Amino acid sequence: MEGTPLTVRYFAGARAAVGHAEEAIPAGRTLDDLTTELTQRHGDRLAAVLRVASFLVNGVTCHDRQAPLPAGATIDVLPPFAGG
């Protein structure tokens, strides 16, 4: 798992579940791998948010959860937002 770490940024309910705005995660994984690791690190409260969240990889919506995440990428965790 080499390369520049991934930056995971948390918003709204994800931020509340984790307790901070962002963290670095080693590169070399898919989005599915990443969500599994984040659940192991932060527990069930974050797992519930991740099940309904959208993910941006370098500002682009990620639809292929099995594609390798590029080293150095920024992944935004976006829970559903209320309001309009």
Query: Tens of pLDDT along 35-57?
Result: 999 999 999 999 999 999 999 99
Global pTM value: 0.91
Q: 6-78 — its CATH code?
A: 3.10.20.30
Residue 84 has pLDDT above 60, yes or no: no
Angle at 15 between CA 48 and CA 42, to 5 degrees: 55
**What is the model's pLDDT at position 76?**
98
Please tell me the distance from the alpha carbon of residue 42 to that of residue 32, in angstroms, as a whole number.
Answer: 15
Cβ 69 vs Cβ 2: under 8 Å: no
**What is the model's pLDDT at position 58?**
97
Residue 72 has pLDDT above 50, yes or no: yes
